Protein backbone atom coordinates (compact mmCIF):
# COMPACT_ATOMS: atom_id res chain seq x y z
CA UNK A 1 0.00 0.00 0.00
CA UNK A 2 1.12 3.51 -0.61
CA UNK A 3 -0.23 7.01 -0.78
CA UNK A 4 -0.94 8.22 -4.27
CA UNK A 5 -2.06 11.42 -5.91
CA UNK A 6 -5.40 11.50 -7.68
CA UNK A 7 -7.12 14.43 -9.31
CA UNK A 8 -10.74 15.52 -9.53
CA UNK A 9 -12.81 18.45 -10.71
CA UNK A 10 -14.50 20.44 -7.97
CA UNK A 11 -17.59 20.24 -10.19
CA UNK A 12 -17.72 16.43 -9.96
CA UNK A 13 -16.25 15.05 -6.76
CA UNK A 14 -16.99 11.42 -7.61
CA UNK A 15 -14.82 11.10 -10.65
CA UNK A 16 -11.11 10.61 -9.90
CA UNK A 17 -8.29 10.79 -12.41
CA UNK A 18 -4.72 9.55 -12.22
CA UNK A 19 -3.76 12.09 -14.83
CA UNK A 20 -4.03 15.81 -14.10
CA UNK A 21 -4.52 16.75 -17.75
CA UNK A 22 -7.50 14.41 -17.96
CA UNK A 23 -9.02 15.89 -14.81
CA UNK A 24 -8.53 19.28 -16.38
CA UNK A 25 -10.33 18.26 -19.55
CA UNK A 26 -13.19 16.85 -17.51
CA UNK A 27 -13.43 20.11 -15.54
CA UNK A 28 -13.46 22.20 -18.71
CA UNK A 29 -16.13 19.97 -20.25
CA UNK A 30 -18.32 20.38 -17.15
CA UNK A 31 -17.76 24.14 -17.09
CA UNK A 32 -19.00 24.41 -20.67
CA UNK A 33 -21.89 22.00 -19.98
CA UNK A 34 -23.08 24.14 -17.05
CA UNK A 35 -22.89 27.37 -19.05
CA UNK A 36 -24.82 25.74 -21.91
CA UNK A 37 -27.50 24.25 -19.64
CA UNK A 38 -28.15 27.60 -18.06
CA UNK A 39 -28.23 29.42 -21.43
CA UNK A 40 -30.67 26.86 -22.86
CA UNK A 41 -32.95 27.01 -19.88
CA UNK A 42 -33.11 30.80 -20.14
CA UNK A 43 -33.93 30.51 -23.83
CA UNK A 44 -36.59 27.83 -23.36
CA UNK A 45 -38.08 28.00 -19.86
CA UNK A 46 -40.26 24.93 -20.53
CA UNK A 47 -37.10 22.82 -20.54
CA UNK A 48 -36.75 20.65 -17.45
CA UNK A 49 -33.55 20.90 -15.48
CA UNK A 50 -32.65 17.37 -16.51
CA UNK A 51 -33.22 18.10 -20.20
CA UNK A 52 -31.05 21.23 -19.98
CA UNK A 53 -28.31 19.33 -18.12
CA UNK A 54 -28.38 16.42 -20.57
CA UNK A 55 -28.15 18.75 -23.55
CA UNK A 56 -25.35 20.74 -21.95
CA UNK A 57 -23.32 17.59 -21.29
CA UNK A 58 -24.01 16.21 -24.75
CA UNK A 59 -22.93 19.36 -26.51
CA UNK A 60 -19.90 19.87 -24.28
CA UNK A 61 -18.75 16.29 -24.98
CA UNK A 62 -18.87 17.06 -28.68
CA UNK A 63 -17.57 20.58 -28.46
CA UNK A 64 -15.28 20.33 -31.49
CA UNK A 65 -18.17 19.36 -33.77
CA UNK A 66 -20.39 22.11 -32.37
CA UNK A 67 -17.56 24.63 -32.66
CA UNK A 68 -17.27 23.78 -36.37
CA UNK A 69 -21.06 23.94 -36.81
CA UNK A 70 -21.29 27.36 -35.19
CA UNK A 71 -18.31 28.68 -37.06
CA UNK A 72 -19.42 27.97 -40.60
CA UNK A 73 -20.15 24.32 -41.12
CA UNK A 74 -23.58 23.06 -39.92
CA UNK A 75 -22.96 19.75 -41.70
CA UNK A 76 -20.37 18.93 -39.03
CA UNK A 77 -23.29 17.89 -36.81
CA UNK A 78 -23.94 14.93 -39.11
CA UNK A 79 -20.83 13.39 -37.55
CA UNK A 80 -22.49 13.18 -34.12
CA UNK A 81 -23.17 9.64 -32.92
CA UNK A 82 -26.72 8.55 -33.71
CA UNK A 83 -27.65 7.90 -30.09
CA UNK A 84 -25.73 9.13 -27.10
CA UNK A 85 -25.44 6.71 -24.20
CA UNK A 86 -24.63 8.32 -20.86
CA UNK B 1 -46.17 50.59 -59.79
CA UNK B 2 -43.26 48.54 -61.02
CA UNK B 3 -41.86 45.09 -60.87
CA UNK B 4 -39.15 44.63 -58.29
CA UNK B 5 -36.82 41.89 -57.20
CA UNK B 6 -37.20 40.42 -53.73
CA UNK B 7 -35.29 37.57 -52.16
CA UNK B 8 -36.29 34.76 -49.82
CA UNK B 9 -34.88 31.59 -48.34
CA UNK B 10 -36.45 28.37 -49.59
CA UNK B 11 -36.55 27.39 -45.89
CA UNK B 12 -38.88 30.28 -45.02
CA UNK B 13 -41.10 31.38 -47.90
CA UNK B 14 -42.89 34.06 -45.90
CA UNK B 15 -39.96 36.30 -45.19
CA UNK B 16 -38.95 38.53 -48.10
CA UNK B 17 -35.80 40.60 -48.32
CA UNK B 18 -34.89 43.52 -50.57
CA UNK B 19 -31.24 42.70 -50.04
CA UNK B 20 -29.79 39.42 -51.29
CA UNK B 21 -27.05 39.33 -48.66
CA UNK B 22 -29.65 39.60 -45.91
CA UNK B 23 -31.69 36.77 -47.43
CA UNK B 24 -28.50 34.75 -47.52
CA UNK B 25 -27.79 35.38 -43.85
CA UNK B 26 -31.35 34.39 -42.97
CA UNK B 27 -31.00 31.17 -44.98
CA UNK B 28 -27.69 30.31 -43.29
CA UNK B 29 -29.19 30.98 -39.86
CA UNK B 30 -32.11 28.66 -40.63
CA UNK B 31 -29.79 25.97 -41.99
CA UNK B 32 -27.82 25.98 -38.74
CA UNK B 33 -31.01 26.11 -36.65
CA UNK B 34 -32.38 23.01 -38.42
CA UNK B 35 -29.15 21.06 -37.97
CA UNK B 36 -29.06 22.00 -34.28
CA UNK B 37 -32.71 21.13 -33.66
CA UNK B 38 -32.23 17.71 -35.17
CA UNK B 39 -28.99 17.07 -33.23
CA UNK B 40 -30.63 18.11 -29.95
CA UNK B 41 -33.66 15.95 -30.52
CA UNK B 42 -31.45 12.94 -31.19
CA UNK B 43 -29.52 13.65 -28.02
CA UNK B 44 -32.61 14.17 -25.86
CA UNK B 45 -35.60 12.31 -27.32
CA UNK B 46 -37.90 13.71 -24.60
CA UNK B 47 -37.54 17.15 -26.20
CA UNK B 48 -40.68 18.27 -28.01
CA UNK B 49 -40.31 19.35 -31.62
CA UNK B 50 -41.16 22.91 -30.61
CA UNK B 51 -38.53 22.95 -27.87
CA UNK B 52 -35.89 21.63 -30.27
CA UNK B 53 -36.88 24.18 -32.93
CA UNK B 54 -36.87 27.06 -30.45
CA UNK B 55 -33.45 26.10 -29.13
CA UNK B 56 -32.07 25.68 -32.64
CA UNK B 57 -33.28 29.14 -33.67
CA UNK B 58 -32.04 30.72 -30.45
CA UNK B 59 -28.56 29.26 -30.77
CA UNK B 60 -28.34 30.00 -34.50
CA UNK B 61 -29.30 33.64 -33.88
CA UNK B 62 -26.44 33.90 -31.43
CA UNK B 63 -24.00 31.76 -33.34
CA UNK B 64 -21.00 34.02 -32.72
CA UNK B 65 -21.39 33.75 -28.94
CA UNK B 66 -21.86 29.99 -29.11
CA UNK B 67 -18.90 29.65 -31.46
CA UNK B 68 -16.72 31.40 -28.88
CA UNK B 69 -18.17 29.30 -26.06
CA UNK B 70 -17.46 26.04 -27.88
CA UNK B 71 -14.04 27.14 -28.95
CA UNK B 72 -12.57 27.99 -25.58
CA UNK B 73 -14.61 30.61 -23.79
CA UNK B 74 -17.77 29.38 -21.98
CA UNK B 75 -18.10 32.81 -20.32
CA UNK B 76 -19.11 34.21 -23.72
CA UNK B 77 -22.61 32.85 -23.00
CA UNK B 78 -23.00 35.42 -20.22
CA UNK B 79 -23.42 37.97 -23.02
CA UNK B 80 -26.65 36.33 -24.22
CA UNK B 81 -29.76 38.46 -23.70
CA UNK B 82 -31.54 37.56 -20.46
CA UNK B 83 -34.79 36.64 -22.15
CA UNK B 84 -35.17 36.01 -25.85
CA UNK B 85 -38.34 37.39 -27.43
CA UNK B 86 -39.30 35.72 -30.70
Q: Is the ipTM of this complex over 0.90?
A: no
Domain boundaries, chain A: 7-79
| CB-nearest partner of A51 from B47, B59, B66 | B47
Instruction: Give me the residues of chain B with pLDDT under 50, please.
Output: 84, 86
Nearest-angstrom CA–CA distance, A45 and A14 = 29
Contacts of A9 (CB under 8 A, 6+ apart): A15, A23, A26, A27, A30
Summary mean pLDDT of chain A: 93
Residue A17 phi/psi, 5-degree rounding, is -125, 140
Q: What is the CATH number of domain B7-79?
A: 1.10.10.710
Report, as an integer, the average pLDDT of A50-70: 96
pLDDT digits (tens, 9 = 90+) for A67-77: 999 999 999 99
Mean pLDDT of A26-50: 95
Q: Which chain B residues contact residue A78 at CB under 8 A?
A: 35
pLDDT of residue B58: 96
For residues B9 and B6, give the distance between their C-alpha atoms in angstroms, rounded to a whole number. Answer: 11
Amino acid sequence: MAVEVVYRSSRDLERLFMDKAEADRHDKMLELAEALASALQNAAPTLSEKQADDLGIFMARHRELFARAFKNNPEALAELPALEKN
